[in-house]
Amino acid sequence: MTIYKAPLADFSFLFDRVLRLDALSNVPGFAEASGDTRGAILEEAGKLSEGVLLPLNESGDREGCRYDAKTHSVTTPKGFKEAYRQFTEGGWSGLASDPDYGGQGLPAVLALAVNEMVVATNWSFAMYPGLSHGAYSAIHTHGSEEQKATYLPKLVAGEWSGTMNLTEPQCGTDLGLIRTKAEPQKDGSYRITGTKIWISGGEQDLTANAIHLVLARISGAPEGIKGISLFIVPKFLVNADGTLGARNGVFCGGLEEKMGIHANATCVMNYEGATGYLIGEPHKGMRAMFTMMNEARLGVGLQGLAISEIAYQNAVAFARERLQGRSLTGPKNEGGPADPIIVHPDVRRMLMDVRAFNEGARALLLWTGLWGDLEYRSSDAKTREKGGDYMALLTPVLKAYFTDQGFQSAVTCQQVLGGSGFTKHFPIEQFVRDARIGMIYEGANGIQALDLVGRKLAQNGGRALFAFLADAGEVADALVARPEFKAYGDRLHETRKFLEDATKWLMENALANPDHAGASSYDYLYLTAYVALGLVWGRMVLAARKALDEGAGEKAFFEAKLVTARHFFERVLPAAQVHAVRAKAGADGLMALAAEAF
Ligand SMILES: Cc1cc2nc3c(=O)[nH]c(=O)nc-3n(C[C@H](O)[C@H](O)[C@H](O)COP(=O)(O)OP(=O)(O)OC[C@H]3O[C@@H](n4cnc5c(N)ncnc54)[C@H](O)[C@@H]3O)c2cc1C
């Protein structure tokens, strides 16, 4: 049986003591999410996740989605429709959305915490409303007033879904190769023709309508990425009074059979002269789509954390029960035939690695998410600017590092279970299969690293990175100032220096040979992730120490936090050194073999 308990104590530690949300009550939406309300919302989301979504995770994986070629329809697994009804009726789809369109206007950082629980208990399910929210954001930011009025209230309510249509058979990473055509019509609409593949939730039976956001090329548009525009293509056209009209010419042509996330429909979508409406300006589609993609990238990073958390909880339960061998320091279960495997240091190593990732990643996700809120909601221009800078800098880092580690965590937890982890009697093999896609979709992780090094780093003369290094330096100083945490502060300073040196190395070498930037980028992204994790772990250490000094309740929680912090600084952060060396190794060795010599 799969277990999951919502990490509510960790959420309140982070919101109350580390991010101190209550001090932000002057920021719009934050007063409505103050202490008790926040706690109640998270508790309810925990109940929905544990009670409604978790029971459908394994059955959804076994059953998968079904396609009917006659009607081009897709049936989601048993129970999904009812769960989706409960999800939308509970208002979860509009938690952080604009109240002008029926949303609750709560901070997006709160929605991230809710989403962690929803994804942990049912990744496949979570993708349906997750992509709808991405479509909501793209239309909200770039759509006309009429488009917003037509589509947003239904997306916010979850009555209609949203999808993201970029990929075509010949184009994945390189969207300049898109062939889907858009022909202008006299009434201002466009006729969209082409085939999209691997479209998540492209067809399903959960919502009355689907709003497809589609990248296409207007006839006569410039070649490559500069000729791409973004269109709204509803499954059912919408009448002037908001009711559903004629069926549009977009049909699901089949489902992909795949390694994991079986309960999420991955669809071929055929656009057969479908009516589409341009969002924003012609040929500026990538700008608008990036709103959706950036949100989705943070959401995918979150998936890595979420799967790691549920894998951890199940591995811990197993390690407490499974009796094998004796503790190296003498029996701990004297009456029994053997000790539980949790007594063995090597099993501890695995569990502590995953635990330290989960707690650090949760803090980093919420810290980043808070900057995202401040970017849009703060009344202070400098804070808004910093919020935008941090979101831009950290989104590719979280997407790639969290999904790499999420998959690694699932595999590590599988290892804790030994052979049982490989069988279907336990849920971890599903977690391993589900986790793998996070590293691939929404831009493969290597592409995130290129985005960081090639675009984000240099933006505004490196302003985001310099601010980030300064913030990390301040946290390191605060740790050094306390003798008991001096070693942690020194380690963070050292890691920060690695990142500084790697940045200098890039500045000196990448222009002369761009392959150096490409060769360095992955390790550079890891170095950034380590500094960011060091920064948030430093803040957690100081907050937990303060809570203990004040004699706050839940002493065991704060003490455990300090133990996990110790693991992070002693055994996780030193790995940054390897990346520091590799980030400066250059491209010559990588590029030396001719392609035919491989
Ligand atoms: C289950 C699933 C769901 C999906 N959902 C959606 C969806 O809802 N909407 C949608 O539009 N798409 C979706 N996708 C597509 C997904 O986003 C792409 O698979 C992904 O972006 C990678 O593209 P690709 O598979 O064509 O790989 P390719 O672009 O062929 O890349 C293959 C490898 O080469 C590397 N590579 C490629 N170009 C470069 C370069 N210039 N420099 C360095 N390395 C490079 C990549 O990092 C990757 O490792 C989904 C895919 C799957 C499998």
| Cα(444) to centroid(ligand 1), Å | 6
Atom of ligand 1 nearest to the CA of 443: 21
- pLDDT at position 293: 83
Question: In testing the pocket of ligand 1, which one of 164, 228, 297, 447 has its CB within 8 Å of the most ligand atoms?
Answer: 447
Q: Which two tokens stand for residue 34?
A: 């103050």
Count the neighbouring beta carbons within 10 Å of the beta carbon of residue 86.
Answer: 14
| Cα(174) to centroid(ligand 1), Å | 9
pLDDT over 90 at 155, yes or no: yes
Beta strands 181-184 and 209-218 are parallel
Cβ–Cβ under 8 Å, residues 78 and 61: no
Query: pTM of the prediction?
Result: 0.98
Handedness of CA 541, 543, 545, 551 (dihedral sign): negative
For 181-219, write each residue's pLDDT tens digit. 999 999 999 999 999 999 999 999 999 999 999 999 999
**3-state secondary structure (DSSP) of residue 213:** strand
Task: Look at ligand 1, atom 11, and give the residue with the nearest C-alpha.
Answer: 166
The angle subtended at Cα 408 by Cα 403 and Cα 414, nearest 5°, is: 130
**Residue 32 bears catalytic tag:** no
Cβ of residue 199 lying under 6 Å from some atom of ligand 1: yes
| Cα(118) to centroid(ligand 1), Å | 25
Average pLDDT on 547-553 reads 95
- pLDDT at position 290: 83
The angle subtended at Cα 249 by Cα 243 and Cα 254, nearest 5°, is: 115
* Lookup result for tokens 């593949």: 197
Q: How confident is the model at residue 512 (pLDDT cuts 50, 70, 90)?
A: very high
Cβ of residue 166 lying under 6 Å from some atom of ligand 1: yes
Q: In whole angstroms, what is the distance from residue 319 CA to residue 317 CA?
A: 6
Distance of CA 19 to the CA centre of its chain: 19
Cβ of residue 447 lying under 6 Å from some atom of ligand 1: yes
- pLDDT at position 291: 80
| Cα(447) to centroid(ligand 1), Å | 9
Q: 6: closest CA among 133, 119, 161? A: 119
| Cα(297) to centroid(ligand 1), Å | 13
Of the candidates 442, 474, 550, 554, the residue annotated as catalytic is: 442
- pLDDT at position 289: 85
Helix (H) or strand (E) holding 192: strand 190-200
The angle subtended at Cα 529 by Cα 317 and Cα 509, nearest 5°, is: 150
For 246-274, write each residue's pLDDT tens digit. 999 999 999 999 999 999 999 999 999 99
Q: In whole angstroms, what is the distance from residue 195 CA to residue 166 CA?
A: 10
Cβ of residue 284 lying under 6 Å from some atom of ligand 1: no
Distance of CA 332 to the CA centre of its chain: 40
Amino acid at the residue 595:
A
For 435-467, write each residue's pLDDT tens digit. 999 999 999 999 999 999 999 999 999 999 999
Cβ of residue 444 lying under 6 Å from some atom of ligand 1: yes
Q: Which two tokens stand for residue 411?
A: 């595999």
What's the mean pLDDT when you consider all of the chain?
Answer: 97
- pLDDT at position 60: 98
| Cα(451) to centroid(ligand 1), Å | 14
Cβ within 8 Å of residue 525, ≥6 positions away = 396, 397, 400, 401, 448, 449, 452, 453
Question: In testing the pocket of ligand 1, which one of 173, 179, 230 has its CB within 8 Å of the most ligand atoms?
Answer: 173
For 350-375, write each residue's pLDDT tens digit. 999 999 999 999 999 999 999 999 99
Q: How confident is the model at residue 140 (pLDDT cuts 50, 70, 90)?
A: very high
Cβ of residue 180 lying under 6 Å from some atom of ligand 1: no
pLDDT over 90 at 306, yes or no: yes
Written as one string, the DSSP assignment of 225-285 is GGG-EEEEEESEEE-TTS-EEEEPSEEEEEE---SS-TTS-EEEEEEEEEEEEEESSTT-H
Q: 286: closest CA among 451, 148, 161? A: 451
Written as one string, the DSSP assignment of 522-542 is HHHHHHHHHHHHHHHHHHHHH
Cβ of residue 164 lying under 6 Å from some atom of ligand 1: yes
Amino acid at the residue 224:
G
Task: Look at ligand 1, atom 37, and give the residue with the nearest C-alpha.
Answer: 173
Cβ of residue 476 lying under 6 Å from some atom of ligand 1: no
Question: In testing the pocket of ligand 1, which one of 178, 198, 269 has its CB within 8 Å of the most ligand atoms?
Answer: 198
Q: How confident is the model at residue 52 (pLDDT cuts 50, 70, 90)?
A: very high
Atom of ligand 1 nearest to the CA of 131: 8
Q: Which two tokens stand for residue 68?
A: 């009917």
Cβ–Cβ under 8 Å, residues 480 and 534: no
Cβ of residue 121 lying under 6 Å from some atom of ligand 1: no
285-321 and 381-416 helices cross at what angle (nearest 10)?
Answer: 40
Cβ of residue 177 lying under 6 Å from some atom of ligand 1: no
Cβ of residue 230 lying under 6 Å from some atom of ligand 1: no
Cα separation of the two ends of the chain: 45
> Residues of 275-293 as b/e, b for ≥16 C-beta within 10 angstroms?
bbbbbbeebbbbebbebbb
Q: Which two tokens stand for residue 16?
A: 């109350």
Domains of the chain with bracketed CATH: 8-284 (2.40.110.20), 448-598 (no CATH)
Task: Look at ligand 1, atom 12, and give the residue with the nearest C-alpha.
Answer: 167
For 272-300, write each residue's pLDDT tens digit. 999 999 999 999 998 888 887 888 899 99
Q: Which two tokens stand for residue 17?
A: 């003591």
> SS in 3 state form for 543-572?
HHHHHHHCCCCCHHHHHHHHHHHHHHHHHH
